[in-house]
């Protein structure tokens, strides 16, 4: 059916805008952190926007996304409002989680964004349960779990893959291999090829260039076809690169560099997913500079408005934690 689908021009331009919005939002948050404006820390996904954009382009509000500590991109790509993201990270009650969660826990359940997660790998069991709900609902909905190469070494991934393969859960595993687990290069803490682990459970695997948003989109077209047809889980390993630090200002605490600045600059220059798509669109004569500039401006404006919304927000009442802890109701 959609096996050999590629994104058309308008879909490419949407992917571009999504990536721009993520990039501008996160660069803003990086600046905000440096300026001491944020109450908490942030883990940014700059350079990895293509994975979130290409995967989420195929999902609807009925589908669930379970994310991780580097989850702003997943939130935005899945339809979360930029202003709700920014206000949340600013600790304002107008945020998506009313200022209770912040960067590590951005969620909008009405849009199927069932939470970023501060514990590495912990989104995987949650996604497994959501996929079980999808299976019991039997309505063609599915769940995507985004995790990194670091989380691949958590036991829950192997437990979850056993569940998903056994019960044919409509669950897509997306491993964003960004080459670093916190401050350790992946190869220093990870044996073998990560996606080979899925093969042991009989789960179909695709490995994709995670910085090529069109390739990610195409992979996801095949994955959704497979999963929504009731064939059980799939595993996508997206090869990408974390341009920024594990968290902002890590240079203040990390004494020994774990990668060279030259490597980072080379990736920024040559493998930026936004530039890659722009250049392809121009080379193929599918979009001119003016069109690309307009999309860029549109994203920039959206993020500026989101920042203004966040700035104008108000801190939540002091006792609100007690209020949100329990529903206090019975069915």
Partner 1 sequence: MARLRLIKAINEAIREEMERDEKVFVLGEDVEASIFGDLRGLFEIFGKGRVRNTPISENTLTGMTVGAAACGYRPVLHIMFANFLFTGMDGIANQMAKARLMSGGQIELPITIIASYGGGRANAAQHSDTPYSAFMNLGGVHLVVPSNPADAKGLLKSAIRCNDPVLYFEPAGRGGEMGDVPDEEYLTPIGKAAVVREGGDLTLISMGTTMRMTLQAADRLAEQGLECEVVDVRTLAPLDEDTICAAAARTGRVVIVDESRERASAASQIAAVIAERSFEQLKAPIKRVTALNAGLPLAPASEQYLLPSVDKVMAAATEISKNVRVSE
Residue ranges that bind partner 1, judged by CB under 8 A: 64, 66, 95-101, 105, 107-110, 114-115, 117-119, 122, 124-134, 136-137, 143, 155-156, 159-160, 162-163, 166, 321, 323-331
DSSP, collapsed to helix, strand or coil, labels residue 214 as helix
**Which of 62, 65, 45, 51 is closest to 126 using CA atoms?**
65
Shortest distance in whole angstroms from residue 212 CB to partner 1:
30
The residues, ordered by sequence, that sit 6+ positions from 129 with a Cβ below 8 Å of its Cβ are none
Smallest separation, CB 197 to partner 1 (Å): 15
CB of 322 to partner 1, least distance (A): 9
Token duo for residue 14: 């949407």
Complex with partner 1: residue 36 or 155, whichever CB lies closer: 155
Q: 316 vs 94, 100, 277, 309, CA distance in Å?
A: 8, 8, 41, 15
How many C-beta atoms surround the C-beta of residue 94 within 10 A? 18
As measured in angstroms, the least distance from the Cβ of 10 to partner 1 is 32
Q: Is the dihedral of CA 175, 180, 185, 188 positive or negative?
A: negative
Cβ closest to partner 1, residue 73 vs residue 101:
101
CB closer to partner 1 out of 115 and 273: 115
142 contacts 228 by C-beta, under 8 angstroms: yes
User: Shortest Cβ distance from residue 186 to partner 1 (Å)?
Assistant: 23
Nearer to partner 1, 12 or 157 (CB): 157
Q: Between residues 96 and 238, which has the closer beta carbon with respect to partner 1? A: 96
- Secondary structure (3-state) at 273: helix
């Amino acid at each position: 059916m959609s096996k050999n689908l590629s994104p058309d021009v308008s879909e490419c331009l949407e992917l571009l805008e999504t990536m721009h919005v993520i990039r501008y939002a996160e660069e803003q948050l990086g600046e905000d952190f440096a300026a001491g404006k944020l109450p908490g820390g942030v883990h940014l996904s700059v350079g990895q926007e293509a994975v979130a954009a290409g995967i989420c382009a195929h999902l609807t509000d009925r589908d669930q996304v379970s994310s991780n500590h580097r989850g702003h991109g997943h939130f935005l790509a899945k339809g979360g409002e930029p202003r709700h993201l920014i206000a949340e990270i600013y600790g304002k009650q107008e945020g998506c989680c009313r200022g209770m969660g912040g960067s590590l826990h951005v969620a909008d359940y009405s849009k199927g964004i069932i939470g970023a997660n501060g514990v590495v790998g912990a989104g995987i069991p949650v996604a497994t349960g959501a996929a079980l709900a999808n299976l019991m609902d039997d309505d063609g909905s599915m769940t995507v779990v985004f995790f990194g190469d670091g989380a691949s070494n958590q036991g829950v991934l192997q437990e979850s893959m056993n569940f998903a393969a056994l019960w044919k859960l409509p669950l897509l595993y997306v491993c964003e291999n960004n080459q670093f687990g916190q401050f350790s290069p992946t190869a220093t803490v990870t044996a073998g090829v990560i996606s080979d682990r899925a093969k042991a459970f009989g789960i179909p695997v695709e490995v994709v260039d995670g910085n090529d948003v069109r390739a990610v989109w195409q992979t996801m077209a095949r994955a959704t076809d497979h999963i929504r047809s009731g064939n059980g889980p799939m595993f996508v390993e997206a090869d990408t690169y974390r341009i920024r630090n594990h968290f902002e200002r890590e240079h203040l605490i990390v004494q020994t560099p774990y990668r060279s600045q030259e490597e980072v600059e080379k990736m920024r220059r040559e493998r930026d997913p936004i530039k890659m798509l722009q250049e392809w669109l121009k080379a193929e004569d599918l979009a001119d500079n003016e069109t690309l500039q307009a999309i860029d401006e549109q994203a920039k404006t959206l993020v500026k408005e989101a920042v203004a919304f966040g700035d104008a927000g108000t801190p939540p009442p002091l006792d609100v934690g007690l209020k949100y802890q329990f529903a206090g109701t019975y069915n």
